[in-house]
């Protein structure tokens, strides 16, 4: 695992993009973050939270299939930027299928047929940049070597694509934070696999095998962080474009959790990664090498090696880099931070 000090300067990327909103002045200490995403109701919450956080400078969105097909998640990415008044932020379109298989398909029972809880938003007018997501990821980190955090909220296909086509991306990135996986707890897409990793296990095994500073924010922590029904009501009632959008997007997602988990609230999967960037002290991590199962009924399972990491390590884990695996979280603190940022 590569650990380096974190310089928080603004990343510079100059894509060809139609811009309707001027970029707001960015704090010189804001951390540049590129978000790869499949919006997605909880992706929407995470992105709006990031855009409301002066500590972060969102330098681009790249889109991927997962909660919905890539054309749908791309449209949603633009809707979120419009909502936040940040259409100056470039969007690059990602892959439509996993690197080795076909897309498993959308999950309308969780995120709606439109990926945003059937919010019925108007069609955004903005256009993506010409570069595809893998190229955009590479070019963005290459423009500011060692400065940009790449945060993934969906299947990690675009990042795997970038590693394969532009191997120097591994040295150019500052750090990678992945929402996905399950180290010590069951899956949510299958009994053994978490949804993002299950959507492209081959890509995930590549990404967790690259020698960069990488953190896994998986179900071990995100299923501990519940946003209560009362907090949801406060966010949806907030008199802002964010409150208005989430009031349309959250109800279907909320009823899914009520029906399947029996809770009055929602798990904060993707927003927990933003909380990790803002307040890492709220999380406990373990440095473990990880493999991702690509065969059989546990396909998509993230397997840490909890034992020897030297030459006594089983061959499958030998010479694998360490991954910061989140296993503990101050759930009250994180849920409070999410609510605070979404009601600013
Ligand atoms: C992950 O899967 C998706 O449904 C969510 O957006 C989140 O990224 C949780 O397993
Ligand atoms: Ca997601």
Distance in angstroms (rounded) separating the CA atoms of residues 65 and 63:
7
Token match 């296993």: residue? 327
111 CA: nearest ligand 1 atom: 4
Kindly state if the Cβ of 195 falls inside 6 Å of ligand 1.
yes
Q: Supply the pLDDT for residue 28.
A: 67
179 CA: nearest ligand 1 atom: 8
Distance in angstroms (rounded) separating the CA atoms of residues 157 and 204:
8
188 CA: nearest ligand 1 atom: 10
Kindly state if the Cβ of 194 falls inside 6 Å of ligand 1.
yes
Q: Which of 156, 191, 269, 274 to mutate to test the pocket of ligand 1 (most atoms within 8 A of CB)?
A: 269
Average pLDDT per block of 10 residues along the chain, 344 residues long? 34 34 63 98 98 98 98 97 98 98 97 96 93 98 98 98 98 98 98 98 98 98 98 98 98 96 96 98 97 98 88 89 98 98 96
Q: What does the block give as tokens for 259?
A: 């029906």
Kindly state if the Cβ of 124 falls inside 6 Å of ligand 1.
no
Contacts of 49 (CB under 8 A, 6+ apart): 271, 274, 338, 341, 342
Closest CA to 159 of 176, 172, 174, 144: 176
Distance in angstroms (rounded) separating the CA atoms of residues 196 and 38:
9
Distance in angstroms (rounded) separating the CA atoms of residues 276 and 274:
5
Domain annotation covers residue 198: yes
Kindly state if the Cβ of 42 falls inside 6 Å of ligand 1.
yes
Coil, strand or helix at 334:
helix
Distance in angstroms (rounded) separating the CA atoms of residues 31 and 11:
8
Which residue has its alpha carbon closest to ligand 1 atom 4? 67
Give the ligand whose atoms come closest to the C-alpha of residue 110.
Answer: 1
Contacts of 296 (CB under 8 A, 6+ apart): none
44: phi > 0 → left, psi -120 to 50 → alpha, else beta; which? alpha
Domain annotation covers residue 11: no
Q: Which of 41, 107, 151, 195 to mutate to test the pocket of ligand 1 (most atoms within 8 A of CB)?
A: 195
pTM: 0.93
Q: Supply the pLDDT for residue 19.
A: 39
CATH of the domain at 265: 3.90.245.10
- Contact predicate 305/289, CB 8 Å: yes
Domain annotation covers residue 196: yes
Q: 315 alpha carbon to ligand 2 midpoint, in Å?
A: 32
Kindly state if the Cβ of 40 falls inside 6 Å of ligand 1.
yes
Domain annotation covers residue 23: no
Beta bridge partners of 262: none
Total number of domains constituting the chain? 1
Q: Supply the pLDDT for residue 45.
A: 98
* Cβ neighbour number for residue 21 with a 10 Å cutoff: 14
Domain annotation covers residue 234: yes
User: Does a cis peptide bond (omega within 30 degrees of 0) precede residue 40?
Assistant: yes
Q: Which of 103, 179, 218, 250 to mutate to test the pocket of ligand 1 (most atoms within 8 A of CB)?
A: 179
Active-site residues: which are they?
A: 38, 269
Domain annotation covers residue 16: no
Q: Which domain, by its residues, includes 160?
A: 31-342
154 CA: nearest ligand 1 atom: 8
Q: Supply the pLDDT for residue 310.
A: 73
Closest CA to 253 of 83, 111, 138: 111
Q: Supply the pLDDT for residue 24.
A: 55
Domain annotation covers residue 26: no
Kindly state if the Cβ of 43 falls inside 6 Å of ligand 1.
yes
Domain annotation covers residue 1: no
158 class by beta-carbon count within 10 Å (0-12 exposed, 13-18 middle, 19+ buried): buried
Token match 């097909």: residue? 69
Kindly state if the Cβ of 153 falls inside 6 Å of ligand 1.
yes
Kindly state if the Cβ of 215 falls inside 6 Å of ligand 1.
no
Give the ligand whose atoms come closest to the C-alpha of residue 47.
Answer: 2
């Amino acid at each position: 695992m590569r650990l380096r000090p974190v310089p928080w300067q603004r990343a510079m990327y100059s894509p060809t993009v139609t811009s309707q909103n001027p970029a707001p002045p960015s704090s010189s200490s804001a951390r540049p973050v590129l978000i790869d995403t499949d919006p997605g109701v909880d992706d929407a919450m995470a992105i709006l939270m990031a855009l409301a956080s002066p500590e972060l400078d969102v330098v681009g969105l790249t889109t991927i299939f997962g909660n919905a097909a890539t054309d749908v998640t791309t449209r949603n990415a633009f809707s979120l930027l419009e909502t936040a008044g940040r259409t100056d932020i470039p969007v690059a379109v990602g892959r439509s299928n996993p690197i080795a298989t076909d897309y498993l398909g959308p999950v309308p029972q969780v995120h709606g047929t439109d990926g945003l809880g059937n919010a019925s938003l108007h069609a955004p007018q903005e256009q993506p940049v010409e570069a595809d997501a893998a190229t955009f990821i590479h070019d963005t980190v290459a423009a500011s070597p060692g400065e940009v955090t790449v945060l993934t909220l969906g299947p990690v296909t675009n990042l795997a694509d970038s590693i394969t086509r532009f191997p120097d991306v591994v040295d150019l990135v500052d750090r990678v934070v992945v929402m996905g996986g399950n180290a010590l707890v069951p899956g949510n897409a299958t009994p053994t696999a978490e949804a993002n990793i299950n959507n492209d296990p081959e890509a995930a095994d590549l990404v967790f095998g690259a020698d960069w500073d990488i953190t896994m924010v998986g179900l071990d922590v995100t299923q501990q962080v519940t946003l209560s029904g009362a907090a949801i009501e406060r966010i949806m009632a907030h008199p802002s474009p964010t409150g208005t959008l989430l009031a349309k997007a959250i109800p279907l997602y909320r009823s899914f959790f009520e029906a399947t988990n029996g809770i009055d609230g929602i798990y904060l999967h993707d927003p927990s990664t933003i909380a990790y960037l803002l307040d890492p002290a709220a999380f406990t991590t373990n440095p473990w090498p990880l493999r991702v199962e690509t065969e059989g009924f546990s396909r998509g399972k993230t397997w840490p090696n909890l034992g020897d990491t030297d030459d006594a390590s089983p061959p499958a884990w030998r010479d694998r880099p360490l991954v910061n695996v989140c296993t503990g979280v101050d759930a009250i603190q994180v849920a409070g931070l999410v609510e605070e940022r979404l009601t600013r």
